[in-house]
Amino acid sequence: MADGKIVLKGIIELLSPALIGSGNDEHSDCDVILDADGKPFIPATSFIGVLRHHIKPSRYDNELKKFWGFADDNKNSSQSSINSSQSSIICSDLYCDNSAKPSVRDGIKINGKTGIVEIDKKKKTGKKYDYEVIEKGAKFKLEIEISFSDKTKAFCEQMAVTICDILKNDSTIRIGAKTNSGLGKIELKNEKLYKYNFTNKQDVFKWLMRKEGSPFSATKFTLEKSVFIINAILKLKNSFIIRSYSEDVNVPDSTSIKSGKDFVITGTSLKGAIRSRAERIANTLGKKGIIENLFGYVKEDDPLDKAKKGRIQIDEVRLPDYTSEMQSRIKIDRFTGGVMPGALFDSMPLFSKDEEIKNVKITITNYKNYEAGLMLLILKDLWTGDLAIGGEKNVGRGVFEGIEADVCWDKKTVKLKKGLEGLSEIDKKDLEEFVSALRDYQEGVKDE
């Protein structure tokens, strides 16, 4: 029997769209999970799974095992007994607190070698897919209960404070699918954390009457995690579009994609461009193994091969209030030089008004120095306009120039500006060491 309980309540707000799949494909290739009222929700199993993956304080393996619960089938035992422990934490499904509705996004698979849409060999068409997302701003009610005994009280208090802290302050914790492509970013708001001590009759009464318990304080766990972050400010040189299509005959054939009311650079598009450039650099240097370890992989032609999740996160970027204008385009026959019949289409790209694009963010968790060096080279290409983002790059769209960037690692921050103004010799040396680590990296040699 529990000697007391800790309760954490609050609101989980989506800071970026989220894809929490239901396994159905009625409205898209991957539909969002809905409750009985047709509203999206976050299953408690998914939410607790994310917390369990992120919170692993060192030297507390046994305590963590009992806290999250376990069931071990001891096949070597003569009694064939099952040793198990119920979890100390209980979480309700997180139901939507406002009128959020799913929206559909389109996606395509780009061939890394050719830079164009990959062809499905069976269907003889481009590999296009779509999926539903819950738009940013959606809010979900959170309620967590943690049972403790006299022996586990201190540990459970620390775990509760740690859970509360990472949900409020850790930008790497994400919910759902495509989390490395900018989706599922969350933040805890309006939190309330309190406990009930069942040896106190007044606390027992409060618990039974569902009144707030007593506040408490504890030291959060220090989670060992090395993170390398690039947070850049860019400026669009000319025009930009990531195509979004509509079935409405009264709108252009393609417009630039939105999240809610804001135009955005989707994390999938930005990550795809970064991965393509990373592959080109790695192949040139003869260091192909870096890519799968950093970006992860899924081998579709070998279903028995385990997939690997990447360690790099690319955030979705909100664009300034750019002007969109419709442009009519035609397709030219290369042999005759004339217009191909029926090949007239409209698009509405965005045009720059000299505003800055903030929070172009790349994060590598548990990074290696050579991986950081690879991202610095990609930042250079993005900074100088050599790496374009989005669609219609062949007509000059999606080219940016760098304004500022913060490069952060191990509690150190180096600020980059145009022309490397103000960059000290020590900072230059630190950044050069990352690039040197990439140059010196050898395939098959175990990382230190």
pLDDT at 404: 93
* pTM recorded for the entire structure: 0.86
pLDDT at 119: 63
Q: At what angle do helices 267-285 and 369-383 cross, to 10 degrees?
A: 110
More confident residue, 110 or 150: 150
Instruction: Please report, for the chain, the start and end positions of each structural domain, with discontinuous segments joined by +.
Output: 4-104+133-208, 227-440
* Other CB atoms within 10 Å distance of the CB of residue 157: 21
Six token digits for residue 220: 């959060």
More confident residue, 336 or 135: 135
Closest by Cα among 376, 351, 355 to 439: 376
pLDDT at 447: 56
For 203, phi and psi rounded to 5 degrees? -70, -35
pLDDT at 73: 60
More confident residue, 328 or 161: 161
pLDDT at 80: 41
CA 13 to CA 139: how far, in whole Å?
A: 4
Q: What is the mean pLDDT of the chain?
A: 86
Average pLDDT value for residue range 197-214: 91
Q: At what angle do helices 61-68 and 153-169 cross, to 10 degrees?
A: 80
pLDDT at 247: 67
Average pLDDT value for residue range 316-322: 91
Residue 86 has pLDDT above 60, yes or no: yes
More confident residue, 10 or 107: 10
CB 416 within 8 A of CB 408: no
Closest by Cα among 244, 289, 288, 238 to 266: 244
> Which residue matches tokens 């020590």?
426
Residue 79 has pLDDT above 50, yes or no: no
Residue 81 has pLDDT above 80, yes or no: no
pLDDT at 370: 95
Express each pLDDT in 397-416 by its tens digit.
Answer: 899 999 999 999 988 999 99
Residue 240 has pLDDT above 50, yes or no: yes
Residue 67 has pLDDT above 80, yes or no: yes
Provide the β-strand partners of residue 29. Answer: none
Residue 113 has pLDDT above 80, yes or no: no
Residue 428 has pLDDT above 60, yes or no: yes
CA 110 to CA 119: how far, in whole Å?
A: 9
Closest by Cα among 167, 176, 156 to 89: 156
* Other CB atoms within 10 Å distance of the CB of residue 423: 14
> Which residue matches tokens 């007509």?
395
Q: At what angle do helices 44-54 and 153-169 cross, to 10 degrees?
A: 100
More confident residue, 301 or 364: 364
Residue 303 has pLDDT above 70, yes or no: no
More confident residue, 209 or 447: 209
pLDDT at 305: 64
Kind of pairing between the strands at 254-256 and 339-348? parallel
Express each pLDDT in 348-387 by its tens digit.
Answer: 889 988 889 999 999 999 999 999 999 999 999 999 999 9
Average pLDDT value for residue range 237-243: 89
Quick one: what percent of the chain has pLDDT higher than 90? 52
Six token digits for residue 213: 């318990």
Six token digits for residue 49: 């799974």
Provide the β-strand partners of residue 309. Answer: 296
